[in-house]
Amino acid sequence: MSKEEILRTGTTTIGLKIKDAVILASDRRATMGNIIAHSDVQKVYPLADNLGMTIAGVVGDAQLMIRFIQSEVSIYSMKRGSPMSVKAAATLVGNVMRNGFYLGLIVGGHDSTGGHVFSVDAAGGHIEDNFVSIGSGSTFAMGSLEASYKLNMTKKEAIDVAITALNSSRKRDSASGDGMIISYIGPKGYEEIPQDQIRVRCEELGFKYPN
């Protein structure tokens, strides 16, 4: 299979540490070479009630990774009788990545020590940060995040920051676009923000939706 025939998420993914929670966000486009292959791709997944992960890279690798990590986190929780911490989940994902997955991932969530966001690279390195972006559009998103991110943002403020950063990337990166996925993970668990709410907020901010 040639490079052009491999289905990739392309993508812009974002992780934000906010007041006692995290925001995970992405666009929804998948590409195959210079072709837009799909316009409704899930790139933000729950790993458990308190954990989530964004994906960027080869779709087949991403789907396998999600299934495996969801299973391992569930087994861990059943054996220990408590949720896996965000750091432990990032370490687990990093260890699996060393087996040769063509991915860039963000692991985020909430545990007894608060909200945490980790970037995980293809070599298995995992680094905690207040905000991070991974994918082909991340350069454009990071410029926006550098300008608008602040510590201890509220949920509403953070959703606006994520929308603005995704809008910057989808306007300049051809592999990013076709809508947004935004999830909030706080003390009460994992919550995916409804599409109608994202659409309304984009319009209020002056952005077209989905593109």
CATH number for position 86: 3.60.20.10
According to the 3-state scheme, what is the secondary structure of 96-161? HHCCCCCEEEEEEEEECCEEEEEEECCCCCEEECCEEEECCCHHHHHHHHHHHCCCCCCHHHHHHH
Give the residue numbers spanning the domain of 110. Answer: 3-205
Single-letter residue type at 29: R
Question: 103: which 2 tokens?
Answer: 């991915």
Q: How many domains does the chain have?
A: 1
In a domain, 35, yes or no: yes
Question: 147: which 2 tokens?
Answer: 């300008």
Q: Using 50, 70 and 90 to split pLDDT, how confident is the model at 185?
A: very high
Kindly state the average pLDDT of the residues 173-184.
94
In a domain, 210, yes or no: no
At residue 135, does pLDDT exceed 70? yes
Residue 38: burial class (beta carbons within 10 Å; 0-12, 13-18, 19+)? middle
In a domain, 152, yes or no: yes
In a domain, 211, yes or no: no
CA angle at 146 for the pair 143 and 151, rounded to the nearest 5°? 155
* More reliable by pLDDT, 123 or 86: 86
The active-site residue, picked from 11, 12, 13, 54, is 11
The reported pTM is 0.94
Task: Verify whether residue 11 is a known catalytic residue.
Answer: yes
At residue 176, does pLDDT exceed 60? yes
Kindly state the average pLDDT of the residues 182-196.
97
At residue 125, does pLDDT exceed 50? yes
Q: For residue range 1-19, list pLDDT tens digits in order.
A: 444 445 555 689 999 999 9
In a domain, 45, yes or no: yes
